Amino acid sequence: MKKIIILSLVLSVFASLNAAKRDNRSVEKRDKMMWMDLSANWKRFTIPDSVSYYLDKTIECGFNIVVVDVKNTDGHVAYKSNIAPRLLEWKGKKIDPDYDYLKVIVDLAKGKGLQVYVAFNQFSEGNARLKTGPVYDDKKSWQAINYDPEMGLTPTTKLKGPYTAFTNPALPEVQRYEQSILCEVAKNYNIDGIMVDRCRYDNIKSDFSQYSKMLFERYIGKKVERFPQDIYEWVKDADGKYQIKEGKWFNLWIEWRASIIYNYFKDTRKALKKTRKDIKFAAYTGAWYPTYYEVGVNWASKKYDPSKDFKWATKNYKKYAFAELLDAYTNGNYYWAVTLDEYHKTNSAVRNETDSKAIKGDHLCVEGACKYSRKLLGDNAFLGAMYVESYKQDVEQFKAAVKMNLKESDGFMLFDIVHIINRNWWQPLKEAVVEQEGAMK
């Protein structure tokens, strides 16, 4: 009995020391990332002097990493590529073909002591409003087939409403293509890391192509007689709104889709490390784990078993958790409510970007999302991320969100620099970072 008590005390002390070590590290060296969206900043960041000015402003606010977005949702890239179509004009602003958008930013940032991650929208290859991108041109066969409640099985380019046209992530040619452009940049540019975004299915309605049906049947070792109805059906509720009625293969379908994204992460990490051993592999996802299964993503640690908490998760779902495959990870806490107390005052339902319906839960505020992420990720570090426009004109709520992300996660990622510029919130941002890091020392 004494041995058990002593062992428990030792483990407790060890855990406390590790926690203290992590806290000290996070105060002294924690990463702070500033995202630089491609389309939103195109006019501004195609001018070197402007880039230099805003990098200095970023450094003044305590950030040590910039995330340079180089692949639009329409599939065009902002660097000299031998693979992907290149962006040379956006909203009337043209650049000379000899001008390398990415190289200019990388060289300036590295010269100022910043780390540089390059961000790619992975499985989006078309702008549905402008009707541009590979899925509208020579890669029509790549586009996802969505199970729309009104239109049935419909190619993504024929859907009404969505801004982004997604591919089918399960297609080998799509995966090879996306990996090739990541490796191209890792090889040719002096960068520190690759950040993947939209590395997922579009939503719960995607992809229901015959190719996905074939792969799924191979996965379960049986034929799906009623497709897609044996996965799920769209039915109207008493209010006339469409709801999902799960079929007999629904849970295994969720598991299989997670396996597709997991294996892509696994293969991509291997390809990148083969290209450059020192390159860091990072990802950005939404923080709303209880519904993120709808896009085929399990960003938790393999040590966490979601089948104990959710009816949609199979026993094998945890096999496809990819936290341990990443060198850096950030997730978006896109909520107005910062503290749990603020959320509890309303207990309102929230519908996140990728959700099929609104839900409730303590994870739907910044504090709750960070604490929940810590539970799911275990020893894997993460940077809490925020969307500046969630706070509109309320600068104090903005500052509170910055502080909470810094306090409850292992760092901080801000999306996007354009909103700080437009609102001239540099001083409030700097104050929030300095105040919170000072309070943690």
CATH number at residue 176: 3.20.20.80
**Across 22-36, 214-228, 347-361, 399-413, least confident range:** 22-36
Domain count, the chain: 1
Arithmetic mean of pLDDT over the chain? 93
pLDDT tens digit sequence for 407-421: 999 999 999 999 999
Confidence of residue 12 (pLDDT cuts 50, 70, 90): very low
Alpha-carbon gap, residue 172 to 36, rounded angstroms: 30
**What is the average per-residue pLDDT within 337-353?**
96
Q: Is 6 exposed, middle or buried (0-12, 13-18, 19+ CB in 10 A)?
A: exposed
Would strands 65-71 and 31-36 be described as parallel, antiparallel, or unpaired?
A: parallel
Q: Does 392 fall in a domain?
A: yes
Residue 238 lies in a domain: no
Residue 189: half-sphere exposure toward Cβ, Cα within 13 Å = 31
Residue 45: domain span: 31-205+251-440
pLDDT digits (tens, 9 = 90+) for 304-338: 999 999 999 999 999 999 999 999 999 999 999 99
Which amino acid is located at 158 in the chain? K
- The predicted structure's pLDDT at residue 7: 30
Cα angle 412-324-261, degrees, rounded to a multiple of 5: 95
pLDDT of residue 389: 96
Examine residue 371 and state whether it is found in any structural domain, yes or no. yes
Q: CA-to-CA distance for 150 and 17, rounded, in angstroms? A: 56
CA–CA separation, 291 vs 296, rounded Å?
10
pLDDT above 90 for 165: yes
pLDDT digits (tens, 9 = 90+) for 348-361: 999 999 999 999 99
Tokens standing for residue 221 = 């070792």
Q: Considering the domain boundaries, does residue 232 fall inside one?
A: no
In a domain, 2, yes or no: no
Residue 14 pLDDT > 90 = no
pLDDT at 28: 56
- Give the C-alpha separation, 82 to 408, whole Å: 42
Measured CA to CA, the distance from residue 388 to residue 285 in angstroms comes to 16
Taking only the tens place, the pLDDT of each residue in 54-66 is 999 999 999 999 9
Is residue 336 assigned to a domain?
yes
pLDDT at residue 15, as a whole number? 39
Q: Band of the pLDDT at 27, cuts 50, 70, 90?
A: low
Neighbours of 122 (CB within 10 A): 25
pLDDT above 80 (res 369)? yes
Distance between CA atoms of 230 and 364, rounded to whole angstroms? 31
Asked if residue 141 belongs to a domain, the reply is: yes
Report the alpha-carbon distance of residue 394 to residue 401 in Å, rounded: 11
Beta bridge partners of 33: 65, 413
- Single out the residue of 288, 296, 290, 297 nearest to residue 326, CA to CA: 297
Residues 6+ apart with CB under 8 A from 325: 265, 266, 269, 281
Q: Tell me, yes or no, whether 216 lies in a domain.
A: no
* Other Cβ atoms within 10 Å of 64 Cβ, number: 16
* Band (277; pLDDT cuts 50, 70, 90): very high
pLDDT, tens digit, 9 for 90 and up, residues 175-204: 999 999 999 999 999 999 999 999 999 999
More confident of the two residues 296 and 392: 296
